[in-house]
Amino acid sequence: MVGAAALPVKFLCMKQITLFGIGTCLSAVLLIGCGNDNYLDPIPYVLVDTTINLSNIEYNALRIDRGYVEIQGGWKGIIIYREDATTYKAFEKASPHRVDEACAEVIVDPDGLFMRELCDNSIFDFDGIPIGGLAQIPLRQYVTQLDGNYLHIFNQP
């Protein structure tokens, strides 16, 4: 069962309409919105502010397009994915819909075409969007900034 913290805001607003009337939901819409992209993120906040040297041998996989590595950091770890020579993406490994379960970890599938959660095999694309399985909340994505051979990964300010 999905916890209330993981429900889309849109669902919560629809529930408020029936419980508290249209005025309450309208107030909520004005404050936080009810669009499809507004979710309450159930993953605890952890400061992420790390820089890796892409010329280091342990990051060789990031020298080719669609290469990836996993590093320590965030809540359960971070997956760094190279889209092309100038675009890198970093995702939290914690599953956004099963935060408290031991198996609630996201990995890159062995074929390298998508990411999947270990509990129920929910599938995510490399934009962090769920594309299969039970997951409905996108993966937490960290900001990446490339400066020569250095890739800075950090939380959105």
- Which pLDDT band holds residue 37 (cuts at 50, 70, 90)? low
pLDDT in tens, 87-139: 999 999 999 888 888 889 999 998 899 999 999 899 999 999 999 999 999 99
Both tokens assigned to 59: 């990051």
Give the residue from 3, 6, 1 showing the smallest Cα distance to 96: 6
In the DSSP assignment, the letter for residue 5 is: G
Both tokens assigned to 78: 């971070």
- Which pLDDT band holds residue 39 (cuts at 50, 70, 90)? low
Q: Are strands 115-117 and 49-53 parallel, antiparallel or unpaired?
A: unpaired
Give the residue from 91, 97, 85, 95 showing the smallest Cα distance to 146: 85
Taking each helix axis from N to C terminus, what angle separates 22-32 and 9-20, rounded to the nearest 10 degrees? Answer: 150
The per-residue pLDDT for 99 is 81
Mean pLDDT score of the chain? 81
The per-residue pLDDT for 41 is 77
Count of alpha carbons within 13 angstroms of residue 61, beta-carbon side: 12
Question: Distance (Å, rounded) from C-alpha 97 to C-alpha 95?
Answer: 6
- Which pLDDT band holds residue 38 (cuts at 50, 70, 90)? low
pLDDT in tens, 69-91: 999 999 999 999 999 999 999 99
The residue that leads in pLDDT, 43 or 123, is 123
The residue that leads in pLDDT, 48 or 42, is 48
